[in-house]
Amino acid sequence: MSGAQLGYRFTFIDVTEDGKTDGDDHRARARSLPPIRASVANSETLVVDAWAHLHLRTLRQGRDATVFEPPAPNRGSVGHPTLCSRPCIYVAKQGQCQKGVACGFCHHDHHSGPNDPKPDKQQRRLMSTMPRAELLGLLAELLQDRAEQDGFHDVGFVVAAPWSIRWRLPWLDMVGGLLDGAQLACGATEAVAVQAGLRPSRPQTKSRKLANLRQVIGRMNFSAILSIALRHCEGHSKASILQELKALRNNVTF
């Protein structure tokens, strides 16, 4: 193959050796459609033809052909699969979303289906009626477990629920400790600590219902669990969580 050369012939890239092309060789070659006539060539054909010439030139120069760069992800897909938003229903049902990069939901595959983890109506009612301190303590515990499962080691949470939440995430030191020491006010009295194996006090909710709720929320990603906490905070607290989560999505890569 020392005398072999690359050539472009009838929309194919051929290897020419000793004055012969692949088409002149005795070896069988897969048949294809005849070359398109110039009279019926359209703009799309010309684009493909130009791409083939560019690809051939890069092959001759010994480089990988890089013609098209992947599009930037939409804002809801940033941080996938850990920090992204919920799956976009239009992408799931129709395969595309008209909002494009402006869509606030994730366009990547979440393997969603009938078993897609999310609290049902009864579990949502349970979260709205259970003591806020108990709920926030559960969420902090599940956030810690989820962060460790996703490879965020040495994660510690100090939760003062329901009046404040203090996050300590040592794994964020590499991006400036974005959430280190952030205080998220939620509005009342009791304190619950969750740090290095220290769990909240005995829950007041029935154990079976709480276990089912824990199982469902525990299968959700970090962003989805944090979003549940958002629904039980208001005012400056909610704004702080959104601001820190946005900064985290913009600075953390996986």
Asked if residue 173 and residue 203 are part of one domain, the reply reads yes
Residue with more model confidence, 95 or 21:
95
Asked if residue 138 and residue 107 are part of one domain, the reply reads no
The yes-or-no verdict on residue 175 having pLDDT over 50 is no
User: Token match 């939440």: residue?
Assistant: 165
Angle at 205 between CA 203 and CA 209, to 5 degrees: 120
Residue with more model confidence, 203 or 131:
131
Q: How confident is the model at residue 124 (pLDDT cuts 50, 70, 90)?
A: very high
Asked if residue 109 and residue 134 are part of one domain, the reply reads no
The verdict on residue 196 lying in a domain is: yes
Asked if residue 128 and residue 107 are part of one domain, the reply reads no
Q: What is the pLDDT of residue 33?
A: 58
The verdict on residue 102 lying in a domain is: yes
The yes-or-no verdict on residue 39 having pLDDT over 70 is no
User: SS3 letters for 57-105?
Assistant: HHHHCCCCCCCCCCCCCCHHHCCCCCCCCCECHHHHHHCCCCCHHHCCC
Please, which residues bridge with residue 9 across strands? Answer: 12
- Centroid of chain to Cα 202: 35
Contact criterion met (CB below 8 Å) for 113 and 97: no
Residue-wise pLDDT tens digits, 63-73 = 554 555 556 77
* Short-list 225, 186, 210, CA closest to 126: 210
Asked if residue 138 and residue 160 are part of one domain, the reply reads yes
Asked if residue 192 and residue 103 are part of one domain, the reply reads no
- Rounded to the nearest integer, the mean pLDDT of the chain is 66
- Which of 60, 82, 106 marks a domain boundary? 60
From residue 122, give the alpha-carbon distance in Å to each of 7, 126, 127, 135, 205: 67, 6, 9, 15, 13
Asked if residue 194 and residue 169 are part of one domain, the reply reads yes
Q: Is the pTM of this model over 0.75?
A: no
The verdict on residue 97 lying in a domain is: yes
C-alpha span between 80 and 38 (Å, rounded): 46
If one counts the domains in the chain, the total is: 3
The verdict on residue 65 lying in a domain is: no
The verdict on residue 67 lying in a domain is: no
Q: How confident is the model at residue 103 (pLDDT cuts 50, 70, 90)?
A: very high
Residue-wise pLDDT tens digits, 188-236 = 333 333 333 444 455 566 788 899 999 999 998 888 888 888 787 766 6
From residue 124, give the alpha-carbon distance in Å to each of 39, 54, 105, 197: 65, 56, 21, 27
Q: What is the pLDDT of residue 37?
A: 54
Asked if residue 167 and residue 153 are part of one domain, the reply reads yes
Record the tokens describing residue 232, joined without a space.
């039980």
Q: Looking at residues 110-138, what average pLDDT do you find? A: 80
C-alpha span between 110 and 81 (Å, rounded): 8
Q: What is the pLDDT of residue 84?
A: 85
Asked if residue 77 and residue 96 are part of one domain, the reply reads yes
Torsion angle of alpha carbons 98, 100, 106, 108, nearest 10°? 100
Contact criterion met (CB below 8 Å) for 17 and 1: yes
Asked if residue 13 and residue 106 are part of one domain, the reply reads no
Instruction: Spell out where the chain has E strands.
Output: 5-9, 12-16, 156-160, 164-168, 183-185
Please, which residues bridge with residue 159 across strands? Answer: 165
Helix%, strand%, coil% for the chain, nearest 5: 40, 10, 45
Contact criterion met (CB below 8 Å) for 217 and 228: yes
Asked if residue 137 and residue 98 are part of one domain, the reply reads no
The verdict on residue 66 lying in a domain is: no
Question: What are the backbone angles phi and psi of residue 158, rounded to the nearest 5°?
Answer: -120, 115
In eight-state DSSP terms, residue 16 is E
For residue 136, what are the domain limits? Answer: 118-251
Contact criterion met (CB below 8 Å) for 75 and 223: no
Asked if residue 244 and residue 142 are part of one domain, the reply reads yes
